Amino acid sequence: MQVTTYPLAGVVEITPRIFADDRGAFLETFSARQFAEAGITETFVQDNLSISKKGVVRGLHFQKPPFAQAKLVTVIAGKALDVVVDIRKDSPTFGQHATCILDAEKRNMFYVPIGFAHAFMVLEEGTVFTYKCSNYYSKESEGGLLWNDPALGIDWGIVNPLVSEKDEILPTLAELDSPF
């Protein structure tokens, strides 16, 4: 397992070792011991999966306390641009973002700690995106940021993505009253 750290504290990319031969391939997708060595000690309680068309943007989402969630995200088919934004008020990197290309062939994962807004953009048709959550979903605890807020400076690489009505009316960073 290879661990790549990012400038935003707690955000890491994990790339598992893939053992391939003429039969196919084998890899470990989760090892509590190895993840703890990488600083990921959450107990994951819920798995989610979405299937999306190319050009879809989902997010930037987060859950407010007491239902705040850390996430371990990956794609099992296709490719996606994954994006996290630090929304921890006292963080020296507040408002900054990091991106990672999640690729089903590479089988890499991206760890999103509590206190980050999260989104992804689908780069290939029929991408299957899955993620583990450290807390259960609560509609009352939903929060988010406007995906295309110019203050965030995120390069989505697309002009007119397919975005839900709900995601189009989320607050900007300047309007956000961060719960973290």
Q: Is there a catalytic annotation at residue 118?
A: no
Q: Is residue 5 part of a domain?
A: no
Q: Is residue 92 part of a domain?
A: yes
What's the distance, CA 55 to chain centroid? 16
pLDDT tens digits, residue range 16-36? Answer: 999 999 999 999 989 999 999
Q: For all residues of the chain together, what is the average pLDDT?
A: 96
DSSP state of 56: B
Residue matched to tokens 């189009």: 168
| Full residue range of the structural domain in which residue 150 is found | 42-168
Q: Is residue 60 part of a domain?
A: yes
H/E stretch holding 33:
helix 32-37
Instruction: Check which CATH number belongs to the domain holding 163 and give it.
Output: 2.60.120.10
Q: Is residue 108 part of a domain?
A: yes
The one catalytic residue in 61, 97, 111, 118 is: 61
Q: Is residue 20 part of a domain?
A: no
The one catalytic residue in 97, 118, 131, 136 is: 131
Q: Is residue 19 part of a domain?
A: no
Q: Is there a catalytic annotation at residue 137?
A: no
> Would the pLDDT of 143 be above 90?
yes
User: How many domains, the chain?
Assistant: 1
Residue matched to tokens 């006292």: 90
Q: Is residue 119 part of a domain?
A: yes
If DSSP codes are grouped into helix, strand and coil, which group holds residue 36? helix
Question: What's the mean pLDDT in 157-166?
Answer: 94
Q: What is the pLDDT of residue 99?
A: 98
* Burial per residue of 125-152, b for 16 or more beta-carbon CB atoms within 10 angstroms, e otherwise: eebbbbbbbbbeeeeebebbbbbbbeeb
> Would the pLDDT of 159 be above 90?
no
What would the two tokens of residue 106 be?
Answer: 């590479």
